[in-house]
Amino acid sequence: MKRVLVSGASGVVGYGILRSLRRSGQACFLVGTSIYHDSVAPAFCDVFEQAPLPNHLSISIGFSPRCDGTELNC
């Protein structure tokens, strides 16, 4: 099973990709991230992580979502 990470999952393109992958019937473990807590993305993900607000470029570089305690290898 492939693991797919979609950042910006709250945006039209991001949740569109998640929705399309979910509907495709392919065996994918979908992880979505967004800075927005009220995103529609969790409806299409196996795991959703709220990313920290990017008030500075360096904060987003260190962000690494986890799934079941295991870091994603992207």
d(CA 4, CA 35): 18
Confidence at residue 74, expressed as pLDDT on a 0 to 100 scale: 47
pLDDT at 20 > cutoff 90: yes
Mean pLDDT over the full length of the chain: 80
**Residue labelled with tokens 């991230």:** 33
pTM of model > 0.85: no
Nearest residue to 52 (alpha-carbon basis) of 42, 39, 63, 41: 63
- Indicate the domain borders of the chain: 2-71
63 pLDDT band (50/70/90 cuts)?
low
